[in-house]
A and B are shown apart, each in its own frame.
Chain A
Amino acid sequence: MAELTYRDAVIRGIAQEMKRDEDVVFLGEDIAKAGGVFKATVGLYEQFGPRRVRDTPISEQAILGAAMGAAMTGLKPIAEIMFSDFFAVCFDYIANEFPKSRYMTNGQTKCPLVVRTGNGAGSRFGAQHSQSVENWCMMIPGLKVVAPSSPVDVIGLLAASVRDPDPVIFLEHKSLYATKGEVPDGEILDKLGTAKILRPGKDATILALALMVPRALAAAEKLAAEHGIDCEVIDVRSLVPLDTQTILGSVAKTHRAFSVEENPRLCGWGAEIMSIIADEAFYDLDGPLVRITTPHCPLPAADILEDAILPTVDRIVDRIRKTLNS
């Protein structure tokens, strides 16, 4: 057992898989000699060499296209897109190529690859380097979409993603890179499509993802201490596949559900989950399904503004308290 940052967990996860399987290769901008702009790939170039850890030009289409061609023909590439906002310049691969090739070819084409990317706000980078784009990916049949919130989940879910036979979008939260957590020694392998109950509770279910997970946990502690409301906090972790059984099981117990989403409101991941709850657990509910999200607005750069636009601990506490007391 050791304490590891989320950033170092990325390095350990990639290294674990590259050591295990010679077919795992890694490409992206500034990932090799420079160790990544977020320093989340430091040492991999030194450990695995220029053949397996390769710097690319600033060519996001070439990066993802090359990853796909390599995956189709036998490698297991990990591709990095530096900021998830850049998905917009290579979205053809994410929306049209990776996820449709198997279906269109009646099962001939395989695409076992992982796209790692820095997602989310908190770095004061403004509207084009701070977005949470999980919903861009979640809506596309054929993709899997994963967003870990802790170092141990980074390693376990990254390993599961690399070993998965489908294309996986792996969203690392930029504001979590410096956070720390306990990580066991030895190989770590988790399972996609599994949510985690991080805090059991009986009065309400809070569903959260990535950076919103620690905020949901902090809000739950505050609600318990100050308002006597006992919340169950679920880290959704994997949007596709989605662990609806854990979520529906929790709602059956608490009869209330809240989502805490960093993505802008319209068509956020919580909307899909809430529709499932409404459809399949309506008679378990004692109140409205409530989504706590960033508003339908681009993200501002200034710290004071960015802090105000994302769901905060206080906003989560306030919204849950008011909903339960009404």
Chain B
Amino acid sequence: MLDKAKTAVNDDIGEETRLKLFETQVVIREAEQRAYDLFLQNLVKGTSHLSLGQEAVAAGFAVAMKKGDLSFCTYRGHAHTLARGVPVEKVLGELMQRDNGLMRGKGGSMHLTSEEHGVMGSYAIIGAHLPIACGAAWRAQYKGHDDVSVCFFGDGTTNIGAFHEALNFAAVWKLPVVFVCENNLYMEYTPIADVTAVPSPAGDRASAYGLEKIVIDGNDADVVYRAAIKAFDKARTGGGPSLIECLTYRHSGHSRADPAKYRPEGELERWKERDPIKIYKERLKQFGVGDAQIDKIVNGVKAVVDDATEKCKAAPNPPMDILTTDVYADGGFAWRN
């Protein structure tokens, strides 16, 4: 009887997709929170840039993607990597720089890559990956493939040259690429509004490249998912690129070194009222998903993250024999005879 009720109220998104959107957000939330805890225990080395509070953007796009679609991420890329189905253990292992990490510790937190999942790299130089995503999209266009390249970046990226070069290039070549700006209001420590000539850092630039201004609620996974589907359809049917600005907020600092003391009082609390996971739990309930099912998903994810954490803690450090491998395609680093 309950099933019937659910079917009756379901809409274009549908329950199966909604559960996937929810679970993906919870995976990101739990894994990122765990990464933070492990950092406090000095088990996550180097830097890390968390997406706590921004889960809906990663989930909305990733769930809308098909197998074969390609993700290009920034150094704040754990969320987008996890959202494509990369195992939590592989991600946490890389953050902890262990041998079981995604790249066996050779890349670290800022360079998560899993080509088998369509995660074509996380790029730590602001703006670098927008032109690279154009190139992957050019290949799709050239070969007649129907995959879409999806490129995620922060609001700060909209002021760097590569952003503008890539947008123009993609528009002129009509490439199947979707640019996704996660506007979390701050570059690193400085508010984006303090250093940008227009109110919407991405949206207000769209017209310069003949693109529609698209600014959406990035904390509602349904809104993100619908915008993603629309942009992907356009890209797959030869309509060219889209630029989508998602309004969101990071609950943590820029990186692990940042306590985020620059925020005005009450801002974080106001945004936490619009926590994407909180919003989505309510959404699931509206569509007839019960607490028991929600708890089951959350607990299942927690168990996966716990298990991954233990495996990572037990994993060895990378072995010395990978120190100089894979510099060149022959597997080594030889530069002379």
Contacts and interface: CB of A to CB of B under 8 A. Distances in A.
B136 A106 contact: no
Nearest to A27: B138
Contacts of A241: 334-337
B135 A65 contact: yes
Interface in B85-121: 102-104, 106-108, 111, 113-115, 120-121
Contacts of B161: 61
A166 B103 contact: no
Contact of B328 (A93, A97, A142, A243): A142
Given A108-B103, A109-B115, A62 B162 contact: yes
B114 A108 contact: yes
B125 A56 contact: no
B121 A61 contact: no
Contact of A103 (B115, B135, B166, B326): B326
B113 to A, nearest CB: 4
A287 interface: no
Interface stretch (B32-40, B126-134, B182-190, B269-277): B126-134
A51 B115 CA distance: 27
B142 A62 contact: no
Nearest to B335: A240
Given A61-B131, A73-B136, A165-B329, A106 B107 contact: yes
Interface size class of B (residues with CB under 8 A): 35 or more
Interface in B127-160: 127-140, 142-143, 149
Contacts of B331: 107
A69 B135 contact: yes
A107 B149 contact: no
A193 B128 contact: no
A73 B121 CA distance: 12
Contacts of A288: none
Given A73-B139, A109-B115, A244-B337, A65 B326 contact: no
B134 A66 contact: yes
A160 interface: no
A72 B136 contact: yes
B172 interface: yes
B115 A57 contact: no
B27 interface: no
B262 interface: no
A61 B165 contact: yes
Contacts of B336: 193, 241-244, 276
A102 B111 CA distance: 11
Nearest to B110: A104
Contacts of A181: none
Nearest to B116: A108
Interface in A52-96: 54, 56-57, 59, 61-75, 77, 92-93, 96
B48 to A, nearest CB: 16
A107 B135 contact: no
B140 to A, nearest CB: 8
B305 interface: no
13 contacts: A51-B142, A61-B161, A62-B168, A68-B131, A70-B135, A73-B139, A96-B128, A103-B327, A104-B103, A105-B103, A106-B102, A109-B115, A242-B335
Given A57-B172, A65-B166, A142-B327, 8 more contacts: A69-B131, A69-B137, A72-B135, A74-B143, A96-B128, A102-B329, A103-B106, A106-B106
Interface of B: 70, 102-104, 106-108, 111, 113-115, 120-121, 123, 125, 127-140, 142-143, 149, 161-162, 165-166, 168-169, 172-173, 322, 325-329, 331, 333-337
Interface of A: 25, 51, 54, 56-57, 59, 61-75, 77, 92-93, 96-97, 101-110, 112, 141-142, 144, 164-166, 193, 240-245, 276
